[in-house]
């Protein structure tokens, strides 16, 4: 992701309809999962979700960008700068791992998921969101350095290969999908970059936030069959070690054994 976007995220994510709607859905699914204890927000960005995790345990963020650390300090939330592909934590360190619109940013999403699986305790929960529907690809995906958008099938395949047994998988952001399609079509005709982080007029922002929140209640009752995004909760299963542990993992294991 372009580092310049971190500033925009920090300015808007506490009120922007998309961030607020996703956060409410994620927190409710985390609560329903029963996860309590240590929580890792993998790819935490500017730390907007971390304060909302406090009722469920001790939360820490990780992000590869030094810019993220600056904004997390302003929020006074704990985070470390590091790679999701070499997490600086020992095996079984966390009761829950969140990866919110993260795994599409890496070339090898399975490797990242296997690292998340490694640091989860047995019975822990992974909560992950991704952009959906490859035919929705636009300059938004280019600006955010996405490698892919997912279908339900490819998302489930990545989770399985990453060492997870899916618990819930659903599309979301379905009600506003026609609006998203129209917007992307217009954007393609007009050209230019899009990052979907405009400051909308208050009433419009509130309306879109309310629509996404109402849809979130529906997701809790049943899986949706279409939408601009996907969300899943999954539990770790054993994955045979195919390669030598990464240096970061070896260091974490050494520290844990001291």
> Distance between CA atoms of 251 and 66, rounded to whole angstroms?
21
What does the mean pLDDT of the chain come to?
A: 89
Partners of 165 in the β-ladder: 235
Q: How confident is the model at residue 258 (pLDDT cuts 50, 70, 90)?
A: very low
Q: How far is CA 219 from CA 102, 131, 212, in A?
A: 21, 16, 10
Domain count within the chain: 1
> What's the distance, CA 3 to chain centroid?
17
pLDDT tens string 184-233: 776 666 655 555 667 788 899 999 999 999 999 999 999 999 999 999 99
Q: What are phi and psi of 79, to 5 degrees?
A: -155, 160
The more confident residue out of 176 and 157 is 157
pLDDT tens string 52-73: 999 999 999 999 999 999 999 9
At 252 the pLDDT is 52
Instruction: Find all residues with CB under 8 Å of 114, minimum gap 6, and list them.
Output: 162, 163, 239
Q: Give the CATH number of the domain where residue 160 resides.
A: 3.40.50.150
Q: What are phi and psi of 150, to 5 degrees?
A: -105, 155
Q: How confident is the model at residue 244 (pLDDT cuts 50, 70, 90)?
A: very low
At 5 the pLDDT is 80
The 3-state DSSP composition of the chain as helix, strand, coil percent (nearest 5) reads 45, 20, 30
> Distance between CA atoms of 101 and 128, rounded to whole angstroms?
7
Whether residue 188 is contained in a domain is answered as yes
Which residue range is the domain that position 174 belongs to?
4-253
Whether residue 258 is contained in a domain is answered as no
Partners of 172 in the β-ladder: 229
Stretch 24-49: mean pLDDT, rounded?
A: 97
In the chain, the percentage of residues whose pLDDT exceeds 70 is: 86
Return the residue matching tokens 């506003």. Answer: 176
Whether residue 220 is contained in a domain is answered as yes
Burial class of 79 by CB neighbour count within 10 A (0 to 12, 13 to 18, 19+): buried
Whether residue 178 is contained in a domain is answered as yes
> Distance between CA atoms of 170 and 162, rounded to whole angstroms?
18
Whether residue 65 is contained in a domain is answered as yes
């Amino acid at each position: 992701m372009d580092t310049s976007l971190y500033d925009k995220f920090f300015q808007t994510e506490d009120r922007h309809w998309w961030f607020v709607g996703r956060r409410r859905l994620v927190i409710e699914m985390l609560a329903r999962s029963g996860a309590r204890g240590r929580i890792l927000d993998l790819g935490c960005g500017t730390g907007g979700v971390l304060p909302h995790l406090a009722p469920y345990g001790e939360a820490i963020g990780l992000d590869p960008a030094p810019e993220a650390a600056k904004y997390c300090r302003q929020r006074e939330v704990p985070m470390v700068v590091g790679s999701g592909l070499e997490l600086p934590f020992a095996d079984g360190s966390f009761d829950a791992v969140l990866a919110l619109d993260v795994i599409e940013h890496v070339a090898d999403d399975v490797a990242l998921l296997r690292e998340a699986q490694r640091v989860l305790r047995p019975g822990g929960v992974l909560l992950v969101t991704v952009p959906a529907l490859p035919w929705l690809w636009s300059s938004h995906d280019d600006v955010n350095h996405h490698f892919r958008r997912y279908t339900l099938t490819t998302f489930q395949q990545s989770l399985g290969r990453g060492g997870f047994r899916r618990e819930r998988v659903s599309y979301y952001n379905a009600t506003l999908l026609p609006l998203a399609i129209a917007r992307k079509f217009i954007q393609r005709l007009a050209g230019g970059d899009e990052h979907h982080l405009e400051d909308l007029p208050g009433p419009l922002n509130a309306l879109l936030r309310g629509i996404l929140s109402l849809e979130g209640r529906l997701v809790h009752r049943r899986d949706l069959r279409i939408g601009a995004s996907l969300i899943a909760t999954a539990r770790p299963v054993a994955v045979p070690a195919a390669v030598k542990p990464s240096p970061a993992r070896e260091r974490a294991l050494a520290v844990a054994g001291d």
